[in-house]
Amino acid sequence: MRIKNFGGYSLGEYLGGGLYTKVYKGYSFLAKPPYGNPVAIKILYLKGNFWERNKLLKQFEREASIAMNLEHPNIVKVYNFGRFDSHYAMIMEYIDGKNLKEYLYEREKWTLELILDICYKIGKGLEYIHKNNIVHKDVKPDNVLISYDFKVVKLTDFGIAKLPKRFWRKDIFPKSGTVTKFGIISYISPEQSEGNATFQSDIYSFGVTMDEIITAKLSIEGKNEEDYFKRIDIRAYRKNTGKQRILCEDLPIPEELKKIIEKATEPDVNLRYENMTELLQNLDKLIIK
């Protein structure tokens, strides 16, 4: 990596990334760092022909412009966006932790109390962006960051988000979303797969995410050594072949919680929760205060 600094920050250790972006921990060498210390710096790597590179840049700029206008304790803050040495980058809030998918792959299991707390906080972030007329369109464990002490839970990545409708603005990623390898888990609602994502599409993705977290991480006496795949694979097969409604159907959790997940993941949008506020009110009743 040739870039030595961006906006008064130097790049430190590599935190993760994908095909087109990489995220580094950033440290300021200024006496008064503009965005605190440390931060996370997301670098865009432009690849492909002119049109492909142009689309990548527009997507990156779009993600930054959306996130920079959001202020919520359960949303990762993007402080700034710009160009440095021909590279584009975002300066973001640093979370001392990792993404939820990484936690799911670990064998350590969680209490239902902790799981519900995490789900509720993800839901509050989602409720907030919906009130700002933004459809996330990619709610999944990979896009949730959690601190090592579990006190901080934040939704991130607005790369394919759908913005409020204007006659000059269209959804540039109408059918985008995530299906896991081999189609084991799909976070995409039926209407989103057809290019008609709404707030209720995010609710569907949130319900699938809740189902996955509970199934993978719930502490069950005598079964806490089971890994992610042992917990998920057979249940995903049963769900995908219509033999059970949700992944956690056979697990020892309150029936009310199963009903929340079932309603959130209803294929028929008319039977699904209308908004996140209604879902969170139901979920809140199960949380131990």
Catalytic residue among 85, 96, 117, 138: 138
Alpha helices of the chain — where are they, by DSSP H?
Answer: 50-68, 100-105, 112-131, 190-193, 199-217, 228-240, 255-264, 276-284
Encoded tokens for 32: 């008064």
Distances (CA, A) of 129 to 33, 74, 76, 90, 261: 28, 10, 12, 20, 21
**Does 138 qualify as catalytic in the annotation?**
yes
Q: What backbone torsions phi and psi does residue 149 show, to the nearest 5 degrees?
A: -90, 5
Query: 37: buried, middle or exposed (CB in 10 Å: 19+, 13-18, 0-12)?
Result: middle
Tell me the one-letter amino acid at 18.
G
Count CB-CB contacts under 10 A for residue 162.
25
Find how far residue 24's CA is from the centre of its chain: 19
Opening angle at CA 145, ends 209 and 12, nearest 5: 150
The full length of the chain comes to 289
SS3 156: coil
Q: Please, is 10 exposed, middle or buried when counting C-beta atoms within 10 Å of its C-beta (0-12, 13-18, 19+)?
A: middle
Looking at residue 281, its amino acid is Q
Pairing of strands 78-84, 39-44: unpaired
105: amino acid identity, one letter: Y
Residue positions annotated with a catalytic role: 138
